[in-house]
Amino acid sequence: MTRQIMERWGDRVYLCVPLRFGDRPLGLLICIETEQDRVYSDEELGLATAVGEQAALAIHTARQFDQEREQNRRLTALVNASRTLASEIELDKVNAELARVAVEALDADWCSVFEYHAEEGTVTEKAICEHRGPGQPEMVGRTYRLNRQTPLSDDEYPLDVSRLEAGEIVVERRADPDLDPATRADMEEQNERSCLTVPLMSSGRAVGFFVIVHEREDHIFGDREIAVARAIAEQAAVGWERARLYRRLELLAITDGLTGVFNHRYFYERLAAEIKRTDRSGEPLPLLMIDIDGFKLFNDRFGHQAGDDALRTIAEAIAAEVRGGIDLVARYGGEELTVLLPGAHDAVAAAERICERVRGVSVTTATGEARLTVSIGVAVYPTSAADMDDLVARADAAMYTAKRLGKDRVEVAAPR
C-alpha cells in the first residue's frame, strides 16, 4: 500500500498478513485502523498470524472441496455418458447425447457435433446442445465447406484439417493474439470466447469432431477438462461405430442383394405405412408394377450373369428417375420391380419417363451391347383400389395388360 492510497481513504495503519498454505500463496488478510496510529504488539501479531493460518487452511479446504465436487460431477457425467453412448444404436441419438454430456461435464455454454467428409472437404452439423436447452434445431443438418481464409461465407467453416486428422485436441481463445484470422472472425461472428475442438476417431481415421464453447467468459481449458473431453470422445467414437454398424445391418436386412434397391419385405412394410398416411392426408398413392420385357429369352440367350447385370442396370435406371428420399423402388421378385410414389399426381408421366430411360440404357453381353424395355402397370390408392392387396393386384393386372398390348408401354388401372 502507498501513502497516497492511505491518505485518500483516511487509513492510519495497515496490518497485512499473507495467507499461505505450504509454499502456495492464497491471498492477503488486511487489518485497517482508521481512528488512530497504533503499534501492534507481538501478541497481536502472533494472533493475526494464527488467524491468517486458519483462514488459509479454510480457503485451501474449500477449494479442495470445490475441486473434488467438480471432479465427481464430471466423473458422474462420464459414467452416464459411457452407459448411454455404449447402448444407443441410433446415430442421431448418439450425437444428441454426446452434445448434452459435453455441455454438462465441462460446464460449457453449448456444444456442436459435426460429421467430417474428407473426400468432399465438408462437415455436417449433426447435433447441438446449449447449457439452457437443446440448442438451435435449424442448424442441425447444415453442411459447410472447409475454408481457413477470410472472409468466411455462411456456408464455410474454419477447420484445421491436419490437426483434426492427427487426432489433436485444439484449444482456441479469441483473446489469443496468435489466433488465425479466419477462426477469430468466426468466433466473433458466433460470440465465442473459448473453444475446445475434440476429434472423433475411428480406426485411426477422423470421422467427426465436437466443439465445446464458452461465450460468457474467456475460459482457459485445464488439463483435467481436456482429459474429460478426450474420454467423452472415446466413448462417443464407440457409439458412432456401433450405430453405423447397426445402420449397415439394418440396410442389409431391407435391401435386395442383387439390385441394391429395397426388397420385397420392406416394400410391403412401406406400402402399409403409406396406405395409413394416405388415409390421413387424402393425398394419392400411386403404385407402379414393372416387368422387364423378354427377360427369360435374354437369360437363355446371354446367360444368367448377363441377366443379373441387366436387372442391376434397369433397377439403377429406375432409381435415377424417381424422387430421392420420397419415392421407393423395390424388387418385387424375379424380373419384376415396383415403385411407390407417395403424394404424386403425375404417376403416368413418371412411368413414361421410366420407360424412356430404360430404352436408353444398354447391357454388355458376350456378343456386344443389348437393350431391353419394360412394361408398367399403374394403380392409384384409393382411386382405383380399395386396400393394399387390391392396389398391388390392380397394378399387376395393368402391367400384364401393357405386355399383352405390345410391351414397352404404360397401362393404367381403371377407377373403381
pLDDT tens string 350-394: 999 999 999 999 999 888 899 999 999 999 999 999 999 999 999
H/E segment holding residue 86: helix 42-87
At residue 398 the predicted structure's pLDDT band, cuts being 50, 70 and 90, is very high
Active site residues: 335
Predicted confidence (pLDDT) per residue in 238-289, tens digit = 888 888 887 888 888 899 999 999 999 999 999 999 999 999 999 999 999 9
- Report the mean per-residue pLDDT for the chain: 87
pLDDT band at 81 (very low <50, low <70, confident <90, very high): low
User: Do residues 323 and 353 make contact, with C-beta atoms less than 8 angstroms apart?
Assistant: no
Structural domain of 27: 3-70
What SS3 state is found at 114? strand
Joined together, the cell numbers standing for residue 14 give 495497515
Give dist(CA 243, CA 87) in Å, integer. 9
Share of the chain above pLDDT 90, in %: 47
Q: Which three cell numbers stand for residue 257?
A: 442383394
Q: Are residues 406 and 300 in the same domain?
A: yes
Cα torsion 215, 216, 222, 227: sign: negative
- When pLDDT is cut at 50, 70 and 90, the band that residue 136 belongs to is low
Closest-CA residue to 378 (of 409, 333, 332) = 409
Last residue of a domain, one of 39, 70, 101: 70
Domain-embedded: residue 365:
yes
pLDDT confidence of residue 250: 82
Same-domain status, 373 and 299: yes
> Is residue 258 situated within a structural domain?
no
pLDDT in tens, 322-356: 998 899 999 999 999 999 999 999 999 999 999 99
Do 234 and 346 share a structural domain?
Answer: no
3 vs 49 pLDDT, higher one: 49
Contact 258, 311 (CB under 8 A): yes
Cα 231 from chain centroid (whole Å): 19
Amino acid at 350: A
**Same structural domain for residues 211 and 336?**
no
Whether residue 235 sits in one domain with residue 284? no
Place of cell 477438462: 225
Is position 306 within any domain? yes
Classify residue 66: in a domain, yes or no.
yes
**Grid cell locating 395:** 397394378
156-157 and 143-146 strand pairing: parallel
The number of folded domains in the chain is 3
- pTM across the whole model: 0.57
Mean pLDDT score, 107-133: 88
- Average pLDDT of the residues in 96-103: 87
323, 292: one domain: yes
